[in-house]
Amino acid sequence: MFGAGGRAGRRAVAEAVFRGHEVTAVVRDPAKHADLGGDGVTVVAGDVTDAARVAEVAAGHDAAISAVYRPDVPSEELYVGAARALLDGLAEAGVGRLVVVGIGTILRTEAGEPGVLVHDSPGFPEDGRTFSLGHLAELEVLRRTGTDVDWVMVAPPPIVLDADADRTGHYRSGVDVVLPSAEGEAGGGSFSYADLAVALVDQIERPQHHRALVAVA
């Protein structure tokens, strides 16, 4: 689990352990995340943009999840570097499945012009668009790179995810278009980090999507 110290990463670690998996939680500074350790979890230091280190910490694992985030590094630099290192490092380690946490703003809008990405919609904040473009560049690296690693990028709705809501275990998935809420409202409605974690681990246990961007809500 790369990026195990963040909101999405922590919940993915907890979800995997809940299902009986052994997890290696990769963070930049393990001393800052001592609470991650425990039954089923080994916390190690690692740089997701270093292919050699990725290969080292991934050796012996069946799959990897990437939920990395660094506000101190330009978005495109971080996510492009991570995508390249993950594909190279996981291939070297013989890890065949990669699940990447994407962002809902790189999905296509659900109505009107279907080719328009959310971050290209009129009035979208420029700083948010810059961050989103980093994820889009990451996706393009995944799409263009010839690799044996079977990857999928999972994008939650383009909203602020609920960090406090309990796990329901339920979600919907679709193609690379923003899903309506369960009530039919645009934008995906509310969604929690806990249920995003369910979707991430499902893509390891029961892979349904391959080399694709997938919306969940």
Q: What is the pLDDT of residue 1?
A: 98
Cβ within 8 Å of residue 119, ≥6 positions away: 105, 106, 128, 129, 132, 133, 136
φ, ψ at 201 (rounded to 5°) = -70, -35
Q: Model-level pTM?
A: 0.95
Q: Is the CB of residue 3 less than 8 Å from the CB of residue 43?
A: no
Q: Is the CB of residue 101 less than 8 Å from the CB of residue 135?
A: no
Please, which residues bridge with residue 117 across strands? 108
**pLDDT tens-digit profile, the chain (217 residues):** 999 999 999 999 999 999 999 999 999 999 999 899 889 999 999 999 999 999 999 999 999 999 999 999 999 999 999 999 999 999 999 999 999 999 999 999 975 556 899 999 999 999 999 999 999 999 999 999 999 999 999 999 999 999 999 999 999 999 999 998 776 655 657 899 999 999 999 999 999 999 999 999 9
Q: What is the pLDDT of residue 23?
A: 98
List the beta strands (DSSP E) in the chain. Answer: 23-27, 41-45, 63-66, 97-101, 150-155, 173-174, 212-216
CA atoms of 189 and 205, how far apart (whole Å): 26
- The answer as to whether 38 is a domain residue is yes
- The answer as to whether 120 is a domain residue is yes
For 174, the domain range is: 7-216
* Strand pairing category for 212-216 and 173-174: antiparallel
- The answer as to whether 1 is a domain residue is no
CA atoms of 27 and 13, how far apart (whole Å): 12
- In the chain, how many domains are there? 1
Q: What is the pLDDT of residue 161?
A: 96
- The answer as to whether 2 is a domain residue is no
Cβ within 8 Å of residue 17, ≥6 positions away: 23, 38, 39, 40, 41
CATH number, position 114: 3.40.50.720
Nearest Cα neighbor of 179 from 163, 199, 165, 204 is: 199
